[in-house]
Structure 1
Amino acid sequence: MSYDVTVIGSGPGGYIAAIRAAQLGFKTAIIEKEDNLGGVCLNWGCIPTKSLLRVSEIYRLIKRSEEFGIKVQGVSFDIKSIIEYSRNVVNKLSSGVEYLMQKNNITVHRGCAKLAGNHNIKVADNDEILSEHIIIATGVRARNLPGIKVDGHLVWNAQHAMIPDKLPKSLLIIGSGAIGIEFASFYNALNVDVTIVEIKDTILPLEDKEISILAQEIFTKQGITIHTNNSIKNLIQKKDSVEVQFSNDKIIEFDRVIVAVGVHPNTDNIGLEHTKIKLSSLGFIETNKWYETHEANTYAIGDVAGPPCLAHKASHEAVICIEKIANKAPHHLQRECIPNCIYSYPQIASIGLTEEQAKTAGHDIKIGRSYANFNGKSIALGETEGLVKTIIDRKSGEILGAHMIGAEVTELINSFALVKQLEGTDLDIKSTIFPHPTVSEMIHESTLAAIIKMT
Structure 2
Amino acid sequence: MTFDFARKQRIAIIGGGPGGYEAALAGAQLGADVTLVESTGVGGSAVLTDVVPSKTLIATADAARAIEDAGELGVQFFARGDSGRPLKPEVAINLLAINKRILALAGQQSEDMRERLIEAGVSIISGHGRLEGDDAIVVSTGPEGTDFDRIEADTIIVSVGASPRELPTAKPDGERVLTWKQMYNMSSVPEHLIVVGSGVTGAEFASAYMNLGSKVTLVSSREQVLPGEDPDAAKVLENVFTRGGMTLLAKSRAERVENTGDGVVATLSDGSTVEGSHCLMAVGGVPNTKDLGLEGAGVQLADSGHILVNKVGRTSVPNIYAVGDCTNLVPLASVSSMLGRTAVFHAMGDAVIPFAKHKIASNIFTSPEIATVGWTNDARHSVELKLDLEENPRAKMMGVKDGFVKLFARDHSGTIVGGVVVAPKASELIFPIAMAVERRLTVDQVARVFTAYPSLAGSVTDAARAMHGVDLRGEA
TM beyond 0.5: yes
Q: Residue type of the partner of 1:48?
A: P
- State the partner residue of 2:388: 371
Tell me if structure 1 keeps the 8 A contact 2:405–2:419: yes
Q: Distance in 1 between matches of 2:313 and 2:71?
A: 54
* Distance change >3 Å, CA 240–CA 307, structure 1 → 2: farther
Gaps of 5+ in 2: 1-7, 79-88
| CA deviations over 1:26-57 (Å, ceiling 9, x no partner) | 011000011x2101111112211111111111
Q: Distance in 2 between matches of 1:433 and 1:115?
A: 53
* Distance change >3 Å, CA 105–CA 391, structure 1 → 2: same
In the TM superposition, 1:300-339 aligns within 5 A as 300-339=322-361
Q: Residue type of the partner of 1:47?
A: V
SS of alignment partner, residue 428 of structure 2: helix
SS of alignment partner, residue 303 of structure 1: coil
TM-score, normalization by structure 1: 0.95
- Over aligned residues, Cα RMSD in angstroms? 1.6
TM-fit CA distance, 1:320: 1.0
- State the partner residue of 1:115: 131
Q: Distance in 2 between matches of 1:236 and 1:139?
A: 28
SS of alignment partner, residue 152 of structure 1: coil
Instruction: Tell me which moved more, 306-315 or 445-454.
Output: 445-454
* Distance change >3 Å, CA 145–CA 450, structure 1 → 2: farther
- State the partner residue of 1:392: 409
Q: Residue type of the partner of 1:230?
A: S
- State the partner residue of 2:68: 63
Q: Residue type of the partner of 1:138?
A: V
SS of alignment partner, residue 160 of structure 1: helix
Gaps of 5+ in 1: none
SS of alignment partner, residue 245 of structure 1: strand
TM-fit CA distance, 1:446: 2.1
- State the partner residue of 1:409: 426
TM-fit CA distance, 1:140: 1.1
Q: Residue type of the partner of 1:25?
A: G
- Correspondence 1:44 to 2:64: no
Largest Rg, 1 or 2: 2
- State the partner residue of 1:279: 301
- State the partner residue of 1:424: 441
Q: Residue type of the partner of 1:38?
A: G
TM-fit CA distance, 1:452: 5.6
Q: Distance in 2 between matches of 1:65 and 1:329?
A: 51
- Correspondence 1:103 to 2:119: yes
TM-fit CA distance, 1:58: 1.1
SS of alignment partner, residue 165 of structure 1: coil
- State the partner residue of 1:87: 103
* Distance change >3 Å, CA 288–CA 87, structure 1 → 2: same
Tell me if structure 2 keeps the 8 A contact 1:3–1:130: no
Residue identity over aligned pairs, in percent, reads 26
SS of alignment partner, residue 144 of structure 1: coil
Q: Distance in 1 between matches of 2:13 and 2:279?
A: 36
Tell me if structure 1 keeps the 8 A contact 2:242–2:248: yes
Q: Residue type of the partner of 1:120?
A: A
Q: Distance in 1 between matches of 2:313 and 2:225?
A: 32
Q: Which runs of 4+ in 1 moved over 6 A?
A: none
SS of alignment partner, residue 132 of structure 2: strand
* Distance change >3 Å, CA 118–CA 136, structure 1 → 2: closer
Q: Residue type of the partner of 2:347?
A: I
Q: Residue type of the partner of 2:105?
A: V
- State the partner residue of 1:291: 313
- Correspondence 1:436 to 2:441: no
Q: Residue type of the partner of 1:206?
A: G
1:248 equivalent among 270, 291, 294: 270
TM-fit CA distance, 1:118: 4.4
Q: Distance in 2 between matches of 1:323 and 1:263?
A: 28
Q: Residue type of the partner of 2:69?
A: R
